[in-house]
A and B are shown apart, each in its own frame.
Chain A
Amino acid sequence: MKIIDTANNVVALAAKMARPKVIAAYPITPQTTIVERLAQYVESGELKAEFIRVESEHSAMTSCIAAEATGVRTFTATSSHGLLLMHEMLHWAGLARLPIVMVNVNRAIGPGWSIWSDCNDSMSQRDTGWLQFYCSSNQEVFDTVIQAYKIAEHKDVQLPVMVNYDGFILSHTSMPADIPSQKEIDDFLPAYTPEWKLDVEHPITHGNIIGPEYYMEVRYDMQISQQKAKKVIKNVDDEWNKKFGKSHGNLIETYRCDDADIIIVAMGAIGAEAHASVDGLRKKGEKVGLARLRVFRPFPKEDLQKIAEKAKLIVIDRDISVGIEGAVATEIKASVDGKVCGFIAGLGGRDVTHKDIMRMYNLAKENKDGWYSVEVR
């Protein structure tokens, strides 16, 4: 079925089709329409699930953690300050190894109040153990939410997944998307069988005090699982592609990279914009390509190393780790040997246009040694 709808409505549909049994959510702009639509699905009986109308995002994540620990599939969505309020519980979900799926609509952080796109919200959650996806179209948003459950619940992963996309740019923009049937989704994503759960027939204690002789193993296991997740993400994407004829590029989506001298690395909506810029630059004879980071955690280090072997990288961050540079640029620099030029762009929803990307390209090309700059118009 082909629909034309906003990313938020597409997410609500994807969440419904994944058949979660508990949804706990709190409204926040620009995520709100997801929560509204899901509440409608539950109240109308279209979705058989418990909807917990919590009093805060901290409680939303807590309720999801507790429900998931009781053995059922859960869903929640948030944005910006809501995500920050959840921060403690994001760590809790990760360390508890609970495969919760959450959508985060990327939005800037105040003060002053800004409801527009910015990735500092999710970037500042990168050490919580969650897998992080960044989408560039409404189709990808739908596909990723369904895939996220399969990836999170895989026995080699058992970690929560955060699906991110740009506030308003995607959340409130209608785009066409192909939606498989419920039966096809059910075949792809069978009912959830938890690895452990709170069960009165088999009492366990979860999360009691853990001494130094065990704690490090818990963190180590998360690290191993994130590494294993790279393969799982690829396999799930392959399976999806085989079934529905759509791939969004596993960990990284590459475009015209084979003979490129310079490759633009970006995420989310900027990645989609850069796609058009690559075509524009190619028309002028520039040997340029695009590597859109679809997955930020686990960090696709090996893939980036391969890309950087023959080309210089331009990294566009819609975030800033204040005091150093863009977070993605830092991580790429730590991963590859080649030259990396980092740009900060589009903070607080500022438009990143084809013209801006052309300018970044020209600046990066002029420079011979590799450099870092923040461009403020």
Chain B
Amino acid sequence: MAIKDLPKEEYVLQGNAACPGCPATIALRTVLKALGKKTIITVPASCSAVIQSLYPKTSFSVPTMNIAFEAAAASASGIKAALHAEGKDDVTVMVWAGDGGSYDIGLQALSGALERKTNFIYICYNNQMYSNTGIQRSGATPYGAWTTTTWAGKKEKAKNLAEIVMVHDTPYVATASIAYPTDLYRKVKKAKGIEGPKYIEILCPCPPGWRFDMSKTVEIARLAVETGSWLMYEFEGGKLTFNGPSKGIIEGTKEAKPIEDWLRMQGRFRNLTDNDIKEIKNELKEGWEFYQKKS
């Protein structure tokens, strides 16, 4: 499938309040094209609460329930239960949450919904920090990254939420990137057809937060994958499959582009020392080895 073959219907409308070059908007646009009209979304506190625009207007043309920060997955369980009680099992329920609402404050509710097998799609659009409140560190912020709560660079590496989700015996887990919209579209479409909880995490490079020019969003997202900093995969039936450039990197058939190329494009990594870069390279290698053993 090519980009021109994506459905023409738009569910994220013009005039929304996103920043120029906003990756979350690009991602949601693709995701909703895959899910279609019969979708109800629930959104915790996040950039997307703003992107929708101000009451009494909205730029989302599917029913949307905004909910408290830590509550998105529990909200999905409620919507799904009500729909089931009304015999409306053909409606997809999706959580659209950032990494803060997923990795940190929302983890308990996410774990609960996964454990009780809520039939929903949980999408974490990961911009690796709290963007909505400015640029603060989250559990998804990578080692060394500057944020307004880690001025000298984050001292800890990011946790791996997708792995946490996988050990919940989740039927479908995938990672995606806005630079590969047809891959994202295919994954969401596939998730829609699977019974039970589904989790998809999309890397969303944020221009103001990562400190790069708004015209570079897709380029940075692509380079994240090409350098192996972000791996794209699907986990289904206990099997892990890598997609796009990630496949070659993990299988050792394709050399990853130098990580420095990616780091250098972002102001948030401006203060990295040689030691920090060594640390990041080690972390990357460990990550690849972990997945080489797993796949």
Residues of A within 8 A of B (CB): 21-22, 24, 48-50, 52-56, 58-60, 62-72, 74, 88-89, 92, 198-200, 202-211, 214
B window 54-77: CB within 8 A of A: 54-56, 58, 60-68, 70-71, 73-77
Q: Which 9 A-B pairs have the closest CB atoms?
A: A66-B78, A55-B112, A207-B66, A59-B74, A70-B82, A63-B78, A205-B58, A50-B81, A21-B85
* Distance between Cα atoms of A21 and B87 in the complex (Å): 11
* Distance between Cα atoms of A72 and B56 in the complex (Å): 24
* Distance between Cα atoms of A53 and B74 in the complex (Å): 10
- With A50-B85, A66-B75, A205-B64 given, can you name 5 additional A-B contacts, CB distance below 8 Å? A21-B81, A24-B77, A55-B111, A62-B67, A198-B64
**Contacting pair B58 A200 (CB below 8 A):** no
* Distance between Cα atoms of A60 and B60 in the complex (Å): 27
**Contacting pair B67 A200 (CB below 8 A):** no
Chain A residues whose C-beta falls within 8 Å of the C-beta of B68 in the assembled complex: 62, 88-89, 92
With A200-B40, A209-B50 already in contact, the answer to whether A214 and B55 are too (CB < 8 A) is yes
B window 120-159: CB within 8 A of A: none
Chain A residues whose C-beta falls within 8 Å of the C-beta of B54 in the assembled complex: 208-211
Closest chain-A Cβ to B119's Cβ sits at a distance in Å of: 12
* Chain B 44-55 interface 0/1 with A at a Cβ cutoff of 8 Å (1 = within): 000001101111
Contact of B79 among A49, A70, A203 (CB under 8 A): A70
With A209-B54, A214-B56 already in contact, the answer to whether A203 and B62 are too (CB < 8 A) is yes
* Distance between Cα atoms of A203 and B55 in the complex (Å): 14
B window 83-126: CB within 8 A of A: 83-86, 91, 108-109, 111-112, 115-116
* Distance between Cα atoms of A89 and B54 in the complex (Å): 22
Q: Is B42 an interface residue (CB 8 A)?
A: yes
| 27 A/B residue pairs, CB under 8 Å, sorted by A | A21-B85, A22-B85, A50-B82, A55-B112, A56-B109, A60-B74, A62-B109, A63-B75, A67-B78, A68-B78, A69-B65, A92-B67, A198-B65, A200-B38, A200-B39, A200-B40, A200-B63, A202-B63, A203-B61, A203-B62, A203-B64, A205-B63, A206-B65, A207-B67, A211-B54, A211-B55, A214-B55
Contact of A63 among B37, B52, B77, B108 (CB under 8 A): B77
**Contacting pair A208 B79 (CB below 8 A):** no
Chain B residues whose C-beta falls within 8 Å of the C-beta of A72 in the assembled complex: 82, 85-86
Chain B residues whose C-beta falls within 8 Å of the C-beta of A67 in the assembled complex: 78-79, 81-82, 85
* Distance between Cα atoms of A68 and B77 in the complex (Å): 12
Chain B residues whose C-beta falls within 8 Å of the C-beta of A209 in the assembled complex: 49-50, 52-55
Chain B residues whose C-beta falls within 8 Å of the C-beta of A208 in the assembled complex: 49, 52-55, 58, 64, 66
**Contacting pair A66 B56 (CB below 8 A):** no
**Contacting pair A54 B52 (CB below 8 A):** no
* Distance between Cα atoms of A214 and B54 in the complex (Å): 10
A-B contact number at CB 8 A = 156
B window 240-261: CB within 8 A of A: none
Contact of A55 among B37, B49, B109 (CB under 8 A): B109
Contact of A210 among B37, B55, B77 (CB under 8 A): B55
**Contacting pair A49 B85 (CB below 8 A):** yes
Chain A residues whose C-beta falls within 8 Å of the C-beta of B65 in the assembled complex: 66, 69, 198, 206-207
Contact of B63 among A22, A198, A214 (CB under 8 A): A198
Chain A residues whose C-beta falls within 8 Å of the C-beta of B85 in the assembled complex: 21-22, 48-50, 67, 72
Chain A residues whose C-beta falls within 8 Å of the C-beta of B42 in the assembled complex: 66
Chain A residues whose C-beta falls within 8 Å of the C-beta of B86 in the assembled complex: 21, 70-72
Chain A residues whose C-beta falls within 8 Å of the C-beta of B40 in the assembled complex: 70, 198, 200
* Distance between Cα atoms of A202 and B37 in the complex (Å): 10
Chain B residues whose C-beta falls within 8 Å of the C-beta of A22 in the assembled complex: 78, 81-82, 85
Closest chain-B Cβ to A89's Cβ sits at a distance in Å of: 6
Residue of A nearest to B84 (CB): A50
* Distance between Cα atoms of A249 and B182 in the complex (Å): 65
Closest chain-B Cβ to A101's Cβ sits at a distance in Å of: 15
Residue of A nearest to B63 (CB): A198
Chain B residues whose C-beta falls within 8 Å of the C-beta of A24 in the assembled complex: 74, 77-78, 81
With A63-B78, A209-B52 already in contact, the answer to whether A58 and B66 are too (CB < 8 A) is no
